[in-house]
Amino acid sequence: MESNTARILDGKALAQKIQQELRSRIEQLTQTADRPPGLAVLMVGDNPASAAYVRNKERACQKLGIASFGRHFTADTPQEELHRAIDELNRDDRVDGILVQLPLPEGLDPVPLIYQIDPDKDADGLHPVNLGRLLRGEPGLRSCTPAGVMRLLEEYQIDLRGKHAVVIGRSILVGKPISLMLLARDATVTMAHSRTPDLTALTREADILIVAVGRPELIDESAVKPGAAVIDVGINRVTDYFGKSRLTGDVLFDSVKNVAGYVTPVPGGVGPMTVTMLMYNTVLSYCRTLGVEL
């Protein structure tokens, strides 16, 4: 590709399109169903970033016609109380999706809470049963951020068959599930991480480069193969010399856009897709309860 021709993968626009489709489907289904879809977000403590994410999710629910059963707990809430709340939500027929907002305050263990969520109500796609379904290529609820990335690649008709995809980051939230999703679409996948030697030599071979490590502006144009699709999953708040803060990704956007064929911005790329796929999972669970197709 020639310089300065990177196409922007607009997650915000795609998120709006999917949300419109979901809203129409919900309106259609609630004419005959006795209830709307329901999502319960459990928020513990007062982490400002988490509070902002929860507000975004609740606004999205309201916009789409999804009933919100959010619960807010103080930071000193005992683990047992959270388990009881999840148990109640598992048994509540009005609730199709359950999500524990991470990170939790110190002293609370998220793993047993996630394991306790009914796999068919696991709106975040993080339960071992759903991760196992992904591994086996079976239908199930998918992790929201990786699923959002895959929808972006699909929307822009980026062919993955036989392409070399490099994923930087091996987390259970993004790196591992996105690698499995790419494999399922016939990409050849290499996973890289903090211990990978000569990372730049590897990333320069990537037709598809997914960066999800939480290190601001780790990847610049020298690390990108000309014409590659670069997906920036990172979202970092950095503060400059004057104390002014801004959001930035793991990719140095202004540099990489001169080399890449496609690139996601931060904000406005993967972020809006994550919330939208959470809504998608909730509506998918709702449809399965009703015995209808989404």
The annotation places the binding site for NADP(+) at: 169-171, 235
Q: Output the DSSP codes for 178-223.
A: HHHHHHHTT-EEEEE-TT-SSHHHHHTT-SEEEE-S--TT-B-GGG
Active site includes 10? no
- Bind-site residues: 169-171, 235
Instruction: Give the ranges where 30-69 is alpha helix by DSSP (H).
Output: 48-64
The residue annotated as part of the active site, out of 10, 19, 96, 101, is: 101
Active site includes 120? no
- Which amino acid, residue 94? R
Cβ neighbours for 4, distance < 8 A, ≥ 6 positions apart: 257, 258
φ and ψ of 65, to 5 deg: 90, 25
The residue annotated as part of the active site, out of 124, 207, 232, 250, is: 124
Contact between residue 232 and residue 200 where contact means Cβ atoms under 8 Å apart? no
Torsional class of 4: left (φ above 0), alpha (ψ -120 to 50), beta (otherwise): left
Question: In whole angstroms, what is the distance from residue 134 CA to residue 280 CA?
Answer: 17
DSSP at 18: H
Active site includes 20? no
Q: Say how far residue 42 (Cα) sits from the centre of its chain.
A: 17
Active site residue ranges: 57, 101, 124
